[in-house]
A and B are shown apart, each in its own frame.
Chain A
Amino acid sequence: MTQTPEQSVRKVSVQCTLNGQPTEFLAAPYLSLLEVLRETLGLTGTKEGCNDGNCGACTVNVDGRIVDSCLMLGAEAEGKTIETIEGVAPAGGLHPLQQAFLEEAALQCGICTPGFLVSAKALLEREPDADEPRIRLWLAGNLCRCTGYDKIIRAVEKARDEMK
């Protein structure tokens, strides 16, 4: 029997740190990091909205930078430290951003929420004083069709103030 496309290429073995844990996976070299996270590793908190780098639903943190995981290959994760939405909350609690999103009603359908949380967390880690224009600029790569952004921006401001 001939092979399926995935069987016909040699899988690569990748070692990385994922949400604080040393992680190893095998992936066909053409799979995106998004596909690896969702399909291979079962981490479906990272969402796919467009698969072409234009919605930010798939945002993950790679070595401190935010990345659209649909635009990065899984194989490129080798040696990297990656955080997804599943790694944002400390054990048994919530990150101040998650708490603020709940309190400020910053989600309606919630599909964009993981991407916004991962992006906003990276911003506040770099710039604990980010103001509204800065937050708006930073989050401009994350589309939300439900909220009109108002409550998302307020939630990030609230978390910023609480993290001080």
Chain B
Amino acid sequence: MTTTEKPQEFKVVGTRPIRHDGIDKVLGRAVYGSDVRLAGMIYGAVLRSPYAHAKITKIDTSKAEAMPGVFAVMSGKDMPLVASGALDLGETVDDTAFTSDRVMAHDKVVFKGHPVAAVAAIDQNTGLEALKLIEVEYEVLKPVISLEDAMAPGAVVIHEGLIGDDLGEKVNNTNIAVHNRSEFGDPEAAFAKSATVLERTFIISRAHQGYIEPHASTAFWAPDGKITVWTTTQAPFGVRKTVSALLEQPLSDIKVIPTEIGGGFGGKIPVYLEPVAAVLSKKAGRPVKITMDRRAVFEASGPGPGGTIKVKMGVDDKGKITAATADIRYGAGAYPGASINPATAGIFACYEVPNVRIDSYDVVINMSKTAAYRAPGTPQATFASETLVGELCEIIGMSPMDFHLLNVSREGTRRPDGPVFPRIGNEACLEAIQGSEHFKSTLEPSTESKLRGRGMASGYWNGIGNKSSVTINVNEDGLVSLIEGNPDIGGTRTTIAMQAAEILGLPAEDVHPAVGDTDSIGYSDLTAGSRTTYATGTAAIEAAKMVIDEMKKRVAMIWETEYGNIEHVDGLFVSKVAPDHKFTFKEAAGKLGQTGGPVAMTGTVNVRGSGGGSFGTHLVDVEVDRDTGKVEILRYTAAQDAGKAVHPSYVEGQFQGGAVQGIGWALNEEYYTSDDGVMVNSTFLDYRMPTSLDVPMIETIIVEVANTNHPFGVRGIGETSIVPPAPAVANALANAIGVRLYQTPMNPGRILEALATKKTGK
């Protein structure tokens, strides 16, 4: 079902063509990170720290170097620590010194799996054998794993050089990298006058993006100093910048060729292997490929942060929100950078809140540095706020739908962290769910052994705009090729090409899109922040308009008339002065040779903001087995505002995929960590992500409230869908079993415990 507002007429946008890169992917021909094979290529392997926190007192690589089949060995001394500085990656800013230390340890290891040395060898197995010959001596330090330990006065300090920022004050000797606050109004006074006030504390598990393709990078450092990197990344230009900063080489000497990418969800923004492969390549004089194994992906790449969130909300006697406060604490991992700011933006974004205060803490602990994970920081925060709302509604006897609609944020509402919303689809999503068959259906009553419940939650993700470039080349047969700089993680070649096709008056199939390397396309920010279809699509529209404009000039030349007399209507070039003069795009393209030569146009944009972001509302029915605590998802509906769905199938796919990732986080996914900071479930067997058996079909409703910041009204939609699932499931579970859970994952053990607590009355 699609609800439309302010219809614009489209020919291509809104249709469902087959994606251009699909054929290679169903044939097994698409080249992903570890599929790269180059002449003379050798294989790298990384030695990782067995300790979460230790000083390195000695590294002896001589035996490994002497082993037959080994071409190069490196450690921190071969990749010296660089000075501190800002590393702007488009969506986030990292520190160059911390990044340098994270990629290859120098004096100290700060997480289990921290790289301490690496080898390059004739084949993978020789490399793995060589790692065993590297002797590393450690002085083991006390690891800081829990937030409480990390934040306690007198805590073991992980980075002596870290200067904390506590509401703008500098702090030394701390693990608290940042403490921020957003506030307005007077929440305390408002709570005092409220009819009902509820406060709860929630614990959120650290969870991994779980992309199926492990990280893999290949590098060749040529004798002339040029470095070529083939890598599976969301951010080719970010890789270029990071490699340049870490190896202190000129930016333009580095070419990054993005391979196909087997999932990322934010986790393939940071650099891990690229500089290591480059250093090994320089030593060996050959291209070096490194592939991470799954255990290293879990232990040493960046999942989304876990943490503790305290939320308090007050309402008047009508159920209108009077005030809300939150205290958000995330474990950043071994270097600062947990996604606390988007958490602050998102936690109460679905509501009009007159008095608010949100404190947030970015806390360093001895685990791998967290990274962006789909709507970074926001599913965690929203689990807290939306589950609290569910309980509040129970207490005041109001339906969650009525509560949402009464308090809904809309155009003109001030988001708790400051910005005022432009036109948004929050209310439209609620209404879409309210009108859905699912909402109107009656849940089958519980039985003795099966407890059933229904729950809902809303969520928000703002997203970003930023910089993109798209080049369109017109071929003499009237088809066009399009080059863009955003790795295609889920169909964006096609959604970008479709927007160009719409302007050019061509079918989607006649635009042939390709993802360029960093030397062949203008700067483009990362594939992240729900920006690719939205912002790079805008660049494609720009480029297509430039093409049409240039072709009008050429057509005018042929018809010997003024440029101003040529129009482009319904895919045809027509003359205002000679009505029988008509050219199709193909005909005009065939004449470019005689009118000045090739037409190739590049559109570049720096899109400001997302235009308000995308809201979504999810509704879920669950069934709990009273004996085993196992949860079955009976029915699931996701409604979300797409502004204008460019390719509805891929929009639905984003809703469905995010919903199922969120269900996984809600029910099963967490890092089990020992006291010494070792993740004990670092396989897909023990880190249990949903399989096809664990979920039903996911019903979708595409809501379209046009984005005023995009020519076609498009909104970025990739991330919002992971925000509502956990609280929707939590609310459904409470409805089913009559007790509330305040911690993810809500696994069978916790559910049985909750049921037992209920029986004994605490």
Q: Do A and B come from one complex?
A: yes
Chain A residues near B (Cβ < 8 Å): 1-7, 28, 30, 35, 38-39, 42-52, 54-55, 57, 84-86, 88-89, 94, 98, 101-105, 107-114, 117, 135-137, 139-154
| Bound Cα distance from A103 to B382, whole angstroms | 35
A114-B490 contact given A103-B18, A105-B653, CB 8 Å threshold: no
A111-B263 contact given A84-B28, A143-B689, A150-B656, CB 8 Å threshold: yes
Most central of B25, B125, B294, B656 by chain A CB within 10 Å: B25
Given A42-B37, A44-B32, 14 further pairs, Cβ under 8 A: A3-B68, A44-B31, A48-B291, A86-B27, A104-B649, A105-B491, A109-B262, A110-B260, A111-B32, A111-B212, A113-B26, A142-B692, A143-B684, A146-B653
Q: Are B16 and A105 in contact (CB under 8 A)?
A: yes
Residues of A within 8 A of B263 (CB): 108-109, 111, 145-146
| Bound Cα distance from A117 to B683, whole angstroms | 24
Q: Are B653 and A49 in contact (CB under 8 A)?
A: no
A109-B693 contact given A5-B129, A47-B262, A89-B27, CB 8 Å threshold: no
Q: Are B35 and A44 in contact (CB under 8 A)?
A: yes
**Pairs of residues from A and B, 7 with the lowest C-beta to C-beta distance, nearest first:** A45-B28, A111-B262, A4-B69, A85-B28, A148-B660, A108-B490, A110-B25
| Bound Cα distance from A137 to B291, whole angstroms | 31
Chain B nearest CB from A139 CB (Å) reads 5
| Bound Cα distance from A163 to B697, whole angstroms | 23
Q: Are A4 and B693 in contact (CB under 8 A)?
A: no
Q: Are B695 and A140 in contact (CB under 8 A)?
A: no
Partner of A47, one of B32, B129, B653, B685: B32
Interface presence of B315 (CB below 8 A): no
Partner of A140, one of B28, B30, B293, B692: B692
Interface presence of B489 (CB below 8 A): yes
Residues of B within 8 A of A47 (CB): 32, 212-213, 262
Residues of B within 8 A of A3 (CB): 68
Most central of A44, A86, A109 by chain B CB within 10 Å: A109
Q: Are B27 and A109 in contact (CB under 8 A)?
A: no
Chain A nearest CB from B232 CB (Å) reads 9
Chain B nearest CB from A92 CB (Å) reads 12
Q: Are A107 and B126 in contact (CB under 8 A)?
A: no
A149-B695 contact given A4-B69, A85-B28, CB 8 Å threshold: yes
Q: Are A98 and B26 in contact (CB under 8 A)?
A: yes
Q: How many of B's residues come within 8 Å of A, CB to CB?
A: 68
Residues of B within 8 A of A113 (CB): 25-26
Most central of A4, A135, A136, A143 by chain B CB within 10 Å: A4
Chain B nearest CB from A137 CB (Å) reads 6
| Bound Cα distance from A2 to B63, whole angstroms | 13
Q: Are A147 and B653 in contact (CB under 8 A)?
A: yes
Residues of B within 8 A of A28 (CB): 125
Interface presence of B261 (CB below 8 A): yes
Q: Are A49 and B25 in contact (CB under 8 A)?
A: no
Residues of B within 8 A of A55 (CB): 212, 684
Q: Are B650 and A145 in contact (CB under 8 A)?
A: no
Partner of A151, one of B28, B34, B656, B685: B656
Chain A nearest CB from B684 CB (Å) reads 4
Interface presence of B170 (CB below 8 A): no
| Bound Cα distance from A83 to B576, whole angstroms | 61
Residues of B within 8 A of A46 (CB): 28
| Bound Cα distance from A35 to B689, whole angstroms | 25
Query: From B24, which residue of chain A is reached at the shortest CB distance?
Result: A110
Interface presence of B691 (CB below 8 A): yes
Q: Are A145 and B25 in contact (CB under 8 A)?
A: no
> What would 14 A/B residue contacts be, using CB atoms closer than 8 Å?
A3-B68, A5-B126, A7-B68, A101-B26, A102-B18, A109-B260, A109-B263, A110-B260, A111-B213, A136-B693, A149-B660, A150-B698, A151-B652, A151-B653
Residues of A within 8 A of B698 (CB): 148, 150
Q: Are B692 and A153 in contact (CB under 8 A)?
A: yes
A109-B660 contact given A44-B37, A146-B653, A147-B653, CB 8 Å threshold: no
| Bound Cα distance from A28 to B685, whole angstroms | 28
Residues of B within 8 A of A85 (CB): 27-28
Residues of A within 8 A of B260 (CB): 109-111
Proximity bits, B687-705, A CB within 8 Å = 1, else 0: 0011111010110000000
Query: From B18, which residue of chain A is reached at the shortest CB distance?
Result: A102
